[in-house]
Structure 1
């Protein structure tokens, strides 16, 4: 019976899990773009587990990711279900006194996280975090210091903090969340300081969106090529003149793509600069 399992038909969810592993490997530098494209194409063409399993077999990080299940199970109700894990949380506080603290990567946000900054700063990054509950509270006290909270798209944010000669960022307050997504309540007090809240994609998500846009661009080009080929020559043997409207659309597409590429490069530069700055602070102040 075990020998027959690889011949079971793979579902869309199975293929998407493998595709996510490939995107993570691309973001970590384990695959180059050419390898990523080849494996992604093989993933979406796979029909059985036997075809799907070898795609990530040689990736060192593949074992850290949930493997493709060989048993058919009901799909989860939402992408957030696996990230609400219960428990007490892996870290419940952060303190920065003339220094800094950072919580980022794969950590578990408790039901209540308390943070304090005095002449210092802290970063609380929830983009790759799990959550102990569907509603978590992040309490920030910033005195002549600052904190920055980074949330992923889809999470609902409620800001209830107040400031004296300081303030709390309200830009993300009140935006509705996705079904099943956690709710993050930001509370606290800022005196001569501030608490920022921003919504950002992870690098892997940015690469995935970039790849999707590139595929869409290739599909549009292929469709235009087929359309031009189907026109052929007219009955008089004369070639058709170029479609002016199509040329304008192509021009607009090219401009939009260049703007998107510049924006992505700018975001990547900012991210690298921020990471280098944080690394310098850690080396100066020691691990925290």
Structure 2
């Protein structure tokens, strides 16, 4: 077959690339803190120097979407991997303060699970409200019911009677709001009838070792039961202090450059 009679090659077609919806999703404070902790681990293991760490940490606190957070840890393996036993011991021993969070390697759950009897196993509100927050011990079975009322259950500083906890929420023309820390193992099973029963954002977050398992179930009739992850007050203070420290360091650096 002569070159003139050969059929022309069809142009290559590339598959259509769709934008990553997840990358455009707004990042939460808990997710920013998870990335910051990953960076601290990388600094402790010698994968990042101090300049790289501070640059990425500042970008983490400024990030508004998941797409801005992912590149900051894309080149970092999971903490503790690819290290020889001797190197791992040396890294953890030399920088234990930076590598381990203030709550300890197990997330601080060891002294908060099964250490005492429940201080509360239920709550009820009719034309009023109830609140369970701060330092309290949740029973293995906790039942909350509201009728034309509201209730607040905050588990961020709570202790737990057992490793497995079931929280039953019943809302009739009212609402119950459940706040949980980002490292708690949570499963939501309830349903709503002319109402809502569910979580705000991603409730299945990164679970800390030793964390109890909490199942939130029940129903809402012409009302709502909401589950939301929030940082602990101690974590908020730590983030605030870290931002302040970075700001002061940058200010001092600018003044030093001006003096030069």
**TM-score (ref. length: structure 2):** 0.54
Q: Which has the higher contact order (CA 8 A, sep 6+)?
A: 2
Compared with structure 1, are the counterparts of its residues 226 and 150 closer, same or farther at alpha carbon in structure 2 (3 Å cutoff)? same
Give the match for residue 231 of structure 2: 201
Q: Is the 8 Å Cα contact of residues 88 and 111 (structure 1) preserved in structure 2?
A: no
Q: Distance in 1 between matches of 2:149 and 2:106?
A: 41
Q: Distance in 1 between matches of 2:199 and 2:214?
A: 13
- Structure 1 residue 181 and structure 2 residue 211: aligned? yes
Aligned partner (choices 141, 148, 163) of residue 112 of structure 1: 141
Give the match for residue 40 of structure 2: none
Q: Distance in 2 between matches of 1:87 and 1:185?
A: 20
In the TM superposition, what are the counterparts of 1:213-224 in structure 2 within 5 Å? 213-224=243-254
The alignment partner of 2:120 has SS state of: coil
- The alpha carbon displacement at 1:226 in A equals 4.3
Higher strand share: 2
Give the match for residue 192 of structure 1: 222
- Structure 1 residue 210 and structure 2 residue 256: aligned? no
- Structure 1 residue 151 and structure 2 residue 201: aligned? no
Compared with structure 1, are the counterparts of its residues 134 and 228 closer, same or farther at alpha carbon in structure 2 (3 Å cutoff)? farther
The alignment partner of 1:174 has SS state of: coil
**TM-score (ref. length: structure 1):** 0.49
The alignment partner of 1:169 has SS state of: strand
Compared with structure 1, are the counterparts of its residues 175 and 201 closer, same or farther at alpha carbon in structure 2 (3 Å cutoff)? closer
- Structure 1 residue 122 and structure 2 residue 151: aligned? yes
Compared with structure 1, are the counterparts of its residues 228 and 133 closer, same or farther at alpha carbon in structure 2 (3 Å cutoff)? farther
Gaps spanning 5+ residues in structure 1: where?
1-74, 233-288
Higher helix share: 1
